[in-house]
Chains A and B, each alone.
Chain A
Amino acid sequence: MAFHTRALLSACAMAALCASASAETITIATVNNGDMIRMQGLTKDFTDKNPDIEVKWLTMEENVLRQRVTTDVATKGGQFDVMTIGTYEVPIWGKQGWLVSLNDLPESYDVDDLLPAIRGGLTVDGELYAAPFYGESSMVMYRTDLMEKAGLEMPEAPTWDFIVKAAKAMTDKENEIYGICLRGKAGWGENMAFLTAMSNSFGARWFDMDWNPQFNTPEWKETLTTYLDVMNEAGPPGASSNGFNENLALFQTGKCGMWIDATVAASFVTNPKDSQVADKVGFALAPDNGLGKRSNWLWAWTLAIPAGTQKEAAAKKFIDWATSKEYLELVAAEEGWANVPPGTRTSLYENPEYQKVPFAKMTLDSINSADPNNPTVEPVPYVGVQFVAIPEFQGMATVTGQVFSAALAGSMDADAALAAAQAATEREMKKAGYIK
């Protein structure tokens, strides 16, 4: 009996000791993209520097993760201490008071080094609500050999006319070469990201200053008909279910002449391990129509802390580590400069080592040419290049994305698709109380 008690007591003491010595555990939710996987792989560097913090990871596919973290933050479920969210969520969540301000990151973090275009999108009323992990814009990636074969030369800043012409000239369906690969898969982050950015260069916009949907305008019609026309003539089969990944696989296996998509794709298509065309890829700015806006978007995956977490200090330490200059150097040392998470810091682009990376300059130029606060030719009441930063946007763009994807599949024509998009958007805006 005495023995038992003593054993019990010492067990208790042990447990108490362990508990006090044991590390604080933070849970990080992130997307399963390459850069984040790399970050997960480098966790040890962080825990070595912060032995009192333990890190747990939840890594998931983008859509599942977004649904997971949104549910959690909105219901204050408290499952996560650090969340990976995009530039669409940050302003909305920041305004709701769901995120912890990061204005008090240490001096060494050098917040002024962040690219202004990116930083601007993450700041609400002077408070930085999320730290950018990597930033991206979109640009044209093309096959230099096929372009040459077609007898054309890609300008550094092409127009849509040139892109359409080149796409048709490069197409060789017999040999499974399609002049252009664009997103067609429905989704606000898939085809609508591309089409919204594209529409900006045609002078179109989602809403006028009174929040009236604008899909019935000639600008949108021109956008959509140009898109459908070039995709039907020079696009791959099954384009209406192609998203980023599907197009990447097509491009890497040499089936696309041009591909307009995220700048991060550059490091994939030039990586000889995965890409069969690694040494034949050129880059250009996303096309325009001479109206002053190009059709490139601006996106960043960022790390943010949900309000109400008990482990704010530890979470801040982690964010400081993962988005710091030192992290970039760490990745460069381990995996080479081409694999550094791009698009967040000015100093990275001033680094002569990084300037040797073939797509570095084009990425920076693309990011700098996008302005989320002033995205369209005519004025708009919203923020965001390829999205509209209001909570209702996801829903509306999901529906319009479905409609445009159906138009690409050929089950309705452009006019019917635009009418359906207009009707659906009006419905949602009425329901949300923006318009009567």
Chain B
Amino acid sequence: MATQHSRAAARLMISPAVLLLLGWMIIPLSMTLYFSFLRYNLLIPGMEEWTGWTNYEFFLTDPAFFAALTNTLLLVGGVLLITIIGGVLLALLLDQPFWGQGIVRILVIAPFFVMPTVSALVWKNMFMNPVNGLFAYFAKFLGLQPFDFLSHAPLFSIILIVAWQWLPFATLILLTALQSLDSEQLEAAEMDGANFLNRFVFIMVPHLARSITVVILIQTIFLLSVFAEILVTTNGGPGYASTNLTYLIYAQSLLQFDVGGGSAGGVVAIILANIVAIFLMRMIGKNLEA
């Protein structure tokens, strides 16, 4: 179908995007790579010298590194779990006929439009604060000891905040998928005596599988670099309990201004992200090919 002519044209049309992204990737990346082998602290200019693998050694042996790695995975996994389960349930609910569908849908998608910094500030100060927060007030109202979310369950609290922001996204995509489901098929199954659970497992889940993979892919891309929510709420603490890789690199390069160490961390993070990417692509590839 494609002629020689159109192949050339296609290459021409794709090249701006490819070249730009290539430049965007290569220029800072090569600078980062170069910095990662330097002893380079922004606050001590004139001391830059080649140090070989020292920065990598310090970054990889940092006790925080392993914690950050685990936290990153927990954060991504936790948010995915909540948003997908919650998203499916919500989509099933919103798919039913009820009064005020439009308004409820507006209410449900609203968190997606809120800036991450704003939502983190609001959750931290007005809800999770153990003295002035609303949760503490309700706990006291019920005669319970207020739970101190951000110091005793920091990672969980952050997962909760991030999940709140991404739940609408998952819900929307899954809802669209559900609505595209052939209703005759469902009715036929109902006639045949299949109960709701059966219909859900054998008809809806397979139909939703592709949408779920899409949600996983897109959210993972964004969740790997969650940063503002941590900065605003816990500063990665207490200890390293809520430090993820992005935050660790931030601490290195913008709190300690250790550009060398931060760059080494950046390179490590890029490698890890690409491993995740390859893994994801395999999965998506399989699911989207059909």
Contact = CB atoms under 8 A, between A and B. Distances in A.
Interface of A: 67, 70-71, 74-75, 92, 96, 176, 184-187, 236-241, 246, 249-250, 253, 255, 391-392, 394-395, 398-399, 401-403, 405-406, 408-412, 420, 423-424, 427, 431-432
Given A237-B148, A238-B129, A70 B251 contact: no
13 contacts: A96-B44, A186-B238, A237-B145, A237-B148, A241-B150, A241-B234, A391-B41, A392-B41, A395-B252, A402-B239, A402-B240, A406-B241, A408-B151
B45 interface: yes
Nearest to A420: B63
B237 interface: yes
B152 A409 contact: yes
Given A391-B43, A427-B58, A403 B254 contact: no
B42 interface: yes
A238 B151 contact: yes
Contacts of A399: 64
Nearest to B57: A431
Contacts of B258: 395
A95 to B, nearest CB: 10
A395 B262 CA distance: 12
Contacts, number: 113
Contacts of B58: 427, 431
Contact of B237 (A186, A237, A238): A186
Interface string B116-136: 000000000000011110000
B152 A398 contact: no
A240 B131 contact: no
B15 interface: no
Interface string B50-76: 000010001000111000000000000
B52 to A, nearest CB: 13
B169 to A, nearest CB: 27
B256 interface: yes
Nearest to B132: A249
Contact of B150 (A67, A71, A238): A238
B256 A409 contact: no
Given A236-B131, A238-B151, A427-B58, A411 B257 contact: no
Contact of B236 (A402, A409, A423): A402
B42 A240 contact: no
Given A392-B41, A395-B257, 4 more contacts: A236-B130, A241-B238, A395-B255, A405-B237
Contact of B43 (A67, A70, A405, A412): A70
Given A405-B239, A406-B239, A409-B238, A237 B255 contact: no
Task: State which size class the interface on B falls in.
Answer: 35 or more
B219 interface: no
A58 to B, nearest CB: 17
B151 A240 contact: yes
A359 B63 CA distance: 45
Nearest to A396: B256
B146 interface: yes
B235 interface: yes
A241 B257 contact: no
Contacts of A424: 63
Nearest to B251: A398
Task: Sort A-B residue pairs by CB-CB distance and give the 5 closest, nearest first.
Answer: A395-B256, A406-B239, A238-B130, A391-B43, A238-B148
B43 to A, nearest CB: 4
A253 B43 CA distance: 41
B207 to A, nearest CB: 44
Nearest to A423: B63
B131 A398 contact: no
A253 B63 CA distance: 40
Contact of A412 (B132, B239, B252): B239
A172 to B, nearest CB: 15
Nearest to B150: A241
A257 to B, nearest CB: 14
B42 A186 contact: no
A211 to B, nearest CB: 15
Given A74-B42, A402-B239, A409 B257 contact: no
B241 A398 contact: no
Nearest to B252: A395
A398 B150 CA distance: 18
B219 to A, nearest CB: 26
Contact of A238 (B43, B44, B131, B241): B131
A74 B235 contact: no
B141 to A, nearest CB: 13
Contacts of A432: 41
Contacts of B54: 431
Contacts of B131: 176, 236-238, 246, 249-250, 253, 255
- Most chain A CB within 10 A, of B43, B145, B256, is at B43
A92 B129 CA distance: 36
Contacts of B145: 237
B211 to A, nearest CB: 38
Interface in B243-265: 251-252, 254-258, 261
Contact of B257 (A240, A391, A403): A391
Contacts of A250: 131-132
B161 to A, nearest CB: 14
Given A246-B129, A250-B131, A406 B238 contact: yes
Contact of B146 (A184, A237, A240): A237
- Most chain B CB within 10 A, of A236, A403, A406, A427, is at A406
A79 B241 CA distance: 36
A255 B131 CA distance: 9
Contacts of A237: 130-131, 145-146, 148
Nearest to B257: A70
A292 to B, nearest CB: 32
A392 B255 CA distance: 10
B43 A92 contact: yes
A3 to B, nearest CB: 42
B239 A403 contact: yes
A187 B261 CA distance: 20
A74 B239 contact: no
Given A250-B131, A391-B43, A240 B238 contact: yes
A22 B44 CA distance: 39
Given A249-B132, A250-B131, A391-B41, A71 B238 contact: no
